[in-house]
Amino acid sequence: MKTVPIISAEAAAALVQSGDTLLVGGFGMTGNPVHLVHALAETQTRGLTFIGNNVGEAGLSGGRLLRNGQLKKAIGSFFTSNREAVAAAQDGSLEVQLIPQGTLAEAIRAGGAGIGGFYTPTAAGTVIAGDADLRVLNGQEMVFVPALRGDVALIRAWRADTAGNLQYRLTEQNFNPAMATAAHLVIVETEEIVEVGQIAPEHVHTPGLYVDYLVQATLTLADLGSSADVRGGAKRVDEARLNMARRALRELQAGDVVNLGIGIPTLVADLITPEMNINLHTENGMLGVGPAPEGGGALEYPVNAGKVPVTALPGASYFDSAASFGMIRGGHVDAAVMGGLQVDASGNLANWAVPGKPLLGVGGAMDLASGARRLIVTMTHTDPDGTPKIVESCTLPLTSRGAVDMVITDKAVFEFVDGKLTLTELMPGTTLDEVRIATGAAFAERLDTST
């Protein structure tokens, strides 16, 4: 059995050369090798390409490299959580390549497996696809994505043994296992280093053959950024939004695997009881998501896709981001409930970008919209100025084409019956005339008038 050198964070940072491509693990600050990145920030290394889900937070992890001017390019799925990354992209000091979250995970996995690239339905028909090669496979348009590899991978584990075998904790897997396979040099920051044999073989998530160096580093609350603590108390929600959440819940069946987006969909989670037997999936690597804990943060609990600490229900499981999005693309998620900016008469969804704002944060929305068996969109019927959000044809950048099955607004419920936008229900306190006036697309009516 080999022995992996144990070095300091400073010695590890010295192994990174100017111009290198870095793979940096973590989902937000969960599973992020923050001590390694901060040690790198103390060097004169420049011209780095940073591959990660996001560039840390302002001044934290990759955000510190950015603030120092050490990054020339960032490749990831969600940069808008770091205001300094947005500013750098806008002023041209940082080149940014935006990739849907699941596509990013799979591109790294492919790079580590010696695969040159792959075709995926995610982002087909959207601006993200750009000039990529398009093929129709099994009747579905797919986008070619090249594999990603790095010169150096900086990853975070919970435990390592002296042979480099790694074990991750809770939702700290995310991008780390795939990144450990996809770089020429792999440096692991770990909470604990134990002797060989102290991690049972069946508990090894990453075999030691991938690992070149180990660095012991203890995580503190200060390292976790916005995930450090449970966020504030009970939600104050208006009745209209709560009605939308209640109506969405009625569409979920016992035994369903369900992914809930941010905004109105998160309210659905608060309405689910154990007796309903609904299994919540979060794309950063968890199945069996429970309610928020009474106290504590990401040092004690897993986090969801909103980077908020949650509890795990009995029977829950954890996995990495590549496996999570394989579940989504593979059709194993029964329903996704997502927010929307626009839905059109052809079932197209736009929910990730608005005019005048940089296109810097798609996350997992495209993967979910195209991969879930059923897509339910919850949104207000109009913008605050009264502009309809249900339109004849989307004018905002698309998230997915023809994927929407149901739209639930504060005024009405629409379904696509035989491919046609159809009004099937009025929400409490709304009249048919109000819906007609506030809807920007032609629709059929199939209202139940028996009650």
List, by residue number, the catalytic residues: 283
The string of DSSP codes covering 405-428 is: -EEE-SSEEEEEETTEEEEEEEPT
Q: Residue 434 is inside which H or E element, if any?
A: helix 432-438
Sign of CA dihedral 185, 168, 309, 291: positive
Strands 48-51, 71-76: pairing kind: parallel
- What are the b/e assignments for 346-381, b being 16+ CB within 10 Å? bbbbbbbbeeeeebbbbbbbbbbbbbbebbbbbbbb
Are the beta carbons of 188 and 164 closer than 8 angstroms? yes
Nearest CA to 38 out of 8, 72, 18 is that of: 8
Between CA 58 and CA 392 the distance in angstroms is 40
- Which residues are paired to 414 by β-bridges? 407, 423
Nearest CA to 219 out of 11, 15, 29 is that of: 29
Is residue 264 exposed (0-12), middle (13-18) or buried (19+ Cβ within 10 Å)?
buried
Nearest CA to 433 out of 420, 418, 423 is that of: 423
Strands 444-445, 420-426: pairing kind: parallel
Task: For helices 264-271 and 239-249, give the axis angle rounded to 10 degrees.
Answer: 60
